[in-house]
Amino acid sequence: MLVISRRKGQRVAIGEEIELVVTEVHRSSVKLGIRAPRGLTVLRGEVRDSIEEANRTAAQSSVADAGALTPARPAENSGLAAISVTVLRRPGAGPAKDPKPV
């Protein structure tokens, strides 16, 4: 592990595309800004640990356990099936505009 001292406003470069910037320094904490490519996932350490633990637990589960996760099937003769849909919008994009009536 590399340990270095930095002051507010100073930076640390990681490779060609990642940069850490010290934005605030307090007695017991430091705030860091992270500049990285959009496609790169940046996670806090405890979040990453939680995801890894959930993945390990899922990998150890049995095939019988997976049956409990299977979604319920619609009735045979109903002709209808419900599909859950989530619509995501970019922050600041504003409300969706209604199409013009025909």
Sequence ranges of the domains in the chain: 1-55
Q: Please report the pLDDT score of residue 58 as a whole number.
A: 84
Residue ranges of the chain with per-residue pLDDT less than 70: 62-102
Cα–Cα dist 83/86, whole Å: 10
Q: Please report the pLDDT score of residue 16 as a whole number.
A: 93
Q: Please report the pLDDT score of residue 81 as a whole number.
A: 57
Q: Please report the pLDDT score of residue 52 as a whole number.
A: 93
Cα–Cα dist 41/3, whole Å: 23
Q: Please report the pLDDT score of residue 61 as a whole number.
A: 75
Say what the pTM is: 0.51
Cβ–Cβ under 8 Å, residues 17 and 36: yes
Cα–Cα dist 48/3, whole Å: 21
